[in-house]
Chains A and B, each alone.
Chain A
Amino acid sequence: MRINLSRKKIKDPFVGKVEELSGQNLLACYQCGKCSAGCPAVSQMDILPNQIIRYAQLGLKEELLESKSIWICASCFTCNARCPKGINIAEVIEALRQILLRKREDHVKVDKLSDSEKGDVPPIAIVSNLRKFTS
């Protein structure tokens, strides 16, 4: 994949917004990769957790907001527990989801779920899914 870096992107308010919503200092990350090494979801991800942090530092807004990974992450907090720099990666990913959800760009459309998708699962699954994937 080709990535274009620019001073403009790095200075984009998007970076500050991710930092504010997540409460994290993105520049603390030194790309050791430990978050990705322990993430149970990497096989389904297009951008790995450590890359998500790097992309966020660089203001690569489109790449991040169009990535599959932000909807694959299940906030299991394994990455947070292991980051040697104390960065809460799961919170950064939550911030990216929130940026879309707050524009009403829902990931799960309730009216598109089939009866079996809605009917067979317990309330705990429906409530948590809609809390994470809808606005």
Chain B
Amino acid sequence: MKLSYYPGCTLKNHAKNFEDSTLCSLSKLGIQVEELPRWNCCGTVFSLATDDLIHHVAPLRNLIRTKESNSDKVMTLCAMCFNTLKRANERVKSDPESLDKINDFMYREKIKYEGDVKVLHLLELLRDEIKFETIAQQMVKPLKELKVANYYGCLLVRPQEIGIDDVENPTILETLTTVLGADPIDFPYKTECCAAYQTVDKPEIVAERTYHILTSAQSQGADVVTVSCPLCAFNLDQRQKETQKQYPEFKNIPILYFTQILAIALGCPEDTLRFDLHYIDPKPVLKEKGLI
């Protein structure tokens, strides 16, 4: 299977561990990934104001790039990219008038966008097209005795119309974690917002959320917490520094992309996991469980 892939800007630097572990996992599953040519930043957030059409240009241009590479669907990893691309796509599909206006803004593009590209998150691809059974068959190292708290955050599941699973109680990551032989634990903060971009000018709010999200996972016995968004990853991992300062009793816990545990189970080499990018080192707990 050949697949068009939209990385987004953070996957090329701070979240290289997300990208490398994904690309290795997909190649183990026999998927050929083709990065979109000339992709651009999606803008990270879907414009909510009704009259703000210009900010839909950035996400939609990437869908034109998808068509130019002779594909009718594009896969994303970053939850924020996924949300922005898919919402912009749904917006113009249900509103031909705004699609016309946006195409007018993009008059230099060789093709017009017609709402005919499908935006997929990697998790949907694994569940619906590759299938979890294939992962089970290809697995070389079951993640025995690893207790995983799967954190969804906001943008994979909200709003409901574009979410990849149930809006209040998604379970797709728990299902995947079980397939990988690990032990998913349930915790009430799995879809609670980490305060996102407040991390730039109000990091103390993020530290408070991180404290509540992570201590909740720890109280259920989690060894690690998985994420699917580079901003969640930054807030839950790097901001543990500020969390520690604000809450001296707080104990650190490693944060991993779900694709890193997938890559371990599929036997990817350690250099695709890029543990050097983590603030809290996941190696000790993974060594203890005999996984690396």
Contact = CB atoms under 8 A, between A and B. Distances in A.
Interface in B8-67: 8-10, 13-15, 41, 43-45, 48-52, 55
Interface residues on chain B, size class: 35 or more
Contacts of B80: 124, 128
B196 interface: yes
Interface string A98-135: 10000000001000010001101111111111011100
B197 interface: yes
Contacts of B123: none
A120 B168 CA distance: 33
A126 B45 contact: no
B142 interface: no
Given A40-B192, A81-B159, A81-B168, A125 B209 contact: no
B45 A40 contact: no
B230 interface: yes
A61 B13 CA distance: 42
A35 B208 CA distance: 21
Interface stretch (A8-16, A25-33, A48-56, A70-78): A70-78
B197 A40 contact: no
B205 A20 contact: no
B15 A125 contact: no
Nearest to B48: A94
B220 interface: no
A94 B50 CA distance: 10
Contacts of B44: 124, 127-128, 131
B50 A22 contact: yes
A58 interface: no
Interface string B192-211: 11011111111001001100
Nearest to B233: A122
Contacts of A132: 45, 197
A113 B201 contact: yes
B50 A40 contact: no
A94 B47 CA distance: 9
Contacts of B192: 40, 78
A41 to B, nearest CB: 7
Interface of B: 8-10, 13-15, 41, 43-45, 48-52, 55, 78, 80, 154, 158-160, 167-168, 191-193, 195-202, 205, 208-209, 230-231, 234, 238
22 contacts: A21-B51, A40-B209, A41-B195, A72-B205, A80-B159, A81-B159, A94-B49, A117-B200, A120-B238, A121-B200, A122-B15, A123-B9, A123-B41, A124-B10, A124-B14, A125-B234, A127-B41, A127-B43, A127-B44, A129-B198, A131-B55, A132-B197
Given A122-B15, A129-B198, 5 more contacts: A41-B195, A41-B205, A80-B158, A122-B10, A132-B45
